[in-house]
Amino acid sequence: MARPIEYISSIDDSKDLWKVAVRCKHLWSVTSSQNREHLELILFDSKLDLIQAIVPSYLVSKFKTQLELGCSYIMQNFKVSSNDFSFKSTDHKFKLIFCGSTSVKKVQLADIPLNHLKLIGINAIIEGKYRTNLLYDIIGGVTEISQAQIIPDNNKSKVVFSLTDLSKHDVQCTLWGKLAVQLNEYYTTHKADGSIILLLMNARIKEPQGNYPLNVSNAWNGTKLLINDLSIEEVKNLKEKLKDDLPTLSSSSMQMETTNTSVFSDLDKFVWKAEVLSLSDIAYLQTETTCVTVATLEKFECGQSGWYYDGCSECTKSVTLKDGKFMCYSKHISSEPVPRFKLEVLASDGKLKYKFVFWDVDCVKLIGKSALQMKLDLMETGDFDPLEFPYELDVMLKKELAIRAVFQPNKASLSVIGFKADEVLRTKIKERFKCEEHTSKIVVSTDDTRDDMHTASCTPTISTSEKQSHADPQTVSDPLSITAVMTLQLPTLHLHRQKDLFLRQLKNSTVPNYRPPR
Ligand SMILES: [Zn+2]
């Protein structure tokens, strides 16, 4: 005898042999940072209960062609595990995971409606009747577009607008990435077509925090945007009822002027995956952190070595003399070592000083001359002394720079991995530093020594973001591993870190309208 069909509401992890009659409400593909694809789907049954299911990477090719949005199926045999997504598409306690013995049979099931939305009204959102870890379907009419930043082929595109429904209340929405581009495309191709009713499926509601208002946005993945889709009854109804209350696309409140300033994207690139911190904030760090700060270079520190090191001719590592040959750590042979800058500079923000190590590539940019050329010039005039810091180096000093650097708890200095001298950019970065009240709690004299800094950096007050997957901290400030340091700038997406960073900046920011890129 065949197994009977069971309801989604009964599913738990007591067995694997579940057999359900369902319709596929939503289906999307997720590609991991390791470039592995898996599928996620949301299923509902005739009692309109929802459950999320996952097709793991190794089964994607098997099921991709069988699964189709809107179709109904008899499905059976799954692994059942707890619904532990940080943002849940359903409030079911469990999720289904497809396995080798999962069977999927496409069947016409008329008792399951074609659509089932998990709608939340704007009134309920404003009254806080939502869960921040649950994703919702939201329908509303666009009343105003306040900001649009469209950068094609870039997940930092965003559109900010207001949404209303029959409650007549407005809620702010921000669409990021592909959905922002989708809305912009609709906007540019339908300008004559009147107003916009949106359906956002699987959207996130962010509670208001500090200066940031309540906001509806897309989740990292799995949010679907339907614009003026009148095949959906609820969209059609709202369109009819709101039609006189919504501005048309051509009205002034709906002008989508796309910002595309180079300063903004330069800034985004420069602070990407870094914490924007004043020197005072850096003093609180306890774990390895890539940070961006602004400081004025004051003086060179003369440490264990001079102003340059003997570098490899093929890479930036240092060379040692072995059996009459100059060899670097990567075993490149150089006929002669190439001098490369390594300068320790004390920099100040007016309150606190910190030591930064500037490596060859940044020094050349700041000085406008290679270390080799500088050495050759000095030799020509007979002034060369390896321990004398050439006077020409001083052009680096007295400059205020935005500096990107790696903080390491076991080092007394920050290892520089980039800088910007642009004034607008420096100002924008300084605006992102947290408010002064906080920083003034650290009592440090302006002519302090490194020991004072050390004391400050041990103060256990602020927890820092999670450790990044950086190069071995022991080797970062060593010329041997400078290439490893340089590669840290490559952006990789990491949702949770970005979220932490975002929350931190939310807390810290004094700028009301700033939102970092996702
Ligand atoms: Zn080398």
* pLDDT for residue 267: 81
Instruction: Report d(CA 514, CA 205) in Å as an integer.
Output: 18
Q: Measuring CA to CA, which residue among 341, 311, 307, 342 is closest to residue 329?
A: 311
Q: Ligand 1 centroid vs 264 CA: distance in angstroms? A: 36
Query: Among 450, 26, 78, which residue's Cα sits nearest to residue 225?
Result: 26
Q: Ligand 1 centre and the CA of 407: distance in Å?
A: 25
Residue 254 is classified by DSSP as: G
Least confident of 30-39, 253-262, 504-513: 504-513
Whole-angstrom Cα distance, residue 125 to residue 120? 7
Ligand 1: centre distance to CA 314 (Å): 5
Separation of alpha carbons 275 and 405, rounded Å: 10
pLDDT at 470: 31
Over 80: is that where the pLDDT of 326 sits?
Answer: yes
If you measure from the C-alpha of residue 485 to the centroid of ligand 1, how many angstroms do you get, rounded to a whole number? 15
CA 440 / ligand 1 centre spacing (Å)? 46
pLDDT for residue 445 is more than 60: no
Predicted confidence at residue 434, as pLDDT, reads 59
Query: In this predicted structure, what is the pLDDT of residue 148?
Result: 82
Q: How far is the CA of 469 from the centre of ligand 1 (A)?
A: 24
Mean pLDDT of 65-82: 96
Closest listed residue to residue 346, CA positions, set 398, 308, 284, 305? 398
Could you tell me the distance, in angstroms and rounded to a whole number, from the CA of residue 483 to the centre of ligand 1?
A: 10
Q: What percent of the chain has pLDDT over 70?
A: 81
What integer is the mean pLDDT of 494-508? 45
Of 75-79, 241-245, 460-464, which range is least confident?
Answer: 460-464
Q: Which residue has the higher pLDDT, 444 or 419?
A: 419
What is the pLDDT averaged over residues 327-356? 92
Q: How far is the CA of 333 from the centre of ligand 1 (A)?
A: 7
- Residue 479 Cα, ligand 1 centroid: separation in angstroms? 11
> 227 or 267: which carries more pLDDT confidence?
227
- State the pLDDT confidence band at 57, using cuts at 50, 70 and 90: very high
Give the pLDDT confidence of 109-128 residue by residue, as tens digits. Answer: 999 999 899 999 999 999 99
* pLDDT average, residue stretch 86-93: 93
Query: At a CB cut-off of 8 Å and minimum separation 6, what does 240 contact?
Result: none
For the entire predicted model, the pTM comes to 0.54
What separation in Å is there between the alpha carbon of 504 and the centre of ligand 1?
40
So what's the pLDDT on residue 101? 95
Please give the share of the chain, as a percent, with pLDDT higher than 90: 55
Which residues neighbour ligand 1 (ion) by CB within 5 Å? 312, 314-315, 317, 328, 330, 332
Task: List C-alpha distances in Å: 374 to 54, 175, 312, 386, 389.
Answer: 61, 52, 17, 11, 11
Domains of the chain plus CATH, in order, are: 8-106 (2.40.50.140), 122-260 (2.40.50.140), 266-508 (2.40.50.140)
**pLDDT per residue as tens digits for the range 279-290:** 988 988 888 899
Asked whether the predicted pLDDT for residue 508 surpasses 60, the reply is: no
Cα–ligand 1 centroid distance for 395 (angstroms): 29
Q: In terms of pLDDT, which residue wins out, 332 or 452?
A: 332
* Confidence band, pLDDT 50/70/90 cuts, at residue 253: confident
Taking the centre of ligand 1 as the mean of its atom positions, its distance from the CA of residue 310, in whole angstroms, is 11
The mean pLDDT value of the chain amounts to: 81
Q: In the structure, how many helices (H) and strands (E) does the chain have? A: 13, 23
Choose the weakest-confidence range: 46-60, 107-121, 257-271: 257-271
Residues 50, 225 contacting (CB under 8 angstroms):
no
Distance 481 CA to ligand 1 centre (A): 10
Whether 262 has a pLDDT exceeding 80, the answer reads no
Q: What is the pLDDT of residues 298-309, one digit of tens each?
A: 999 987 778 999
- pLDDT exceeds cutoff 60 at 216: yes
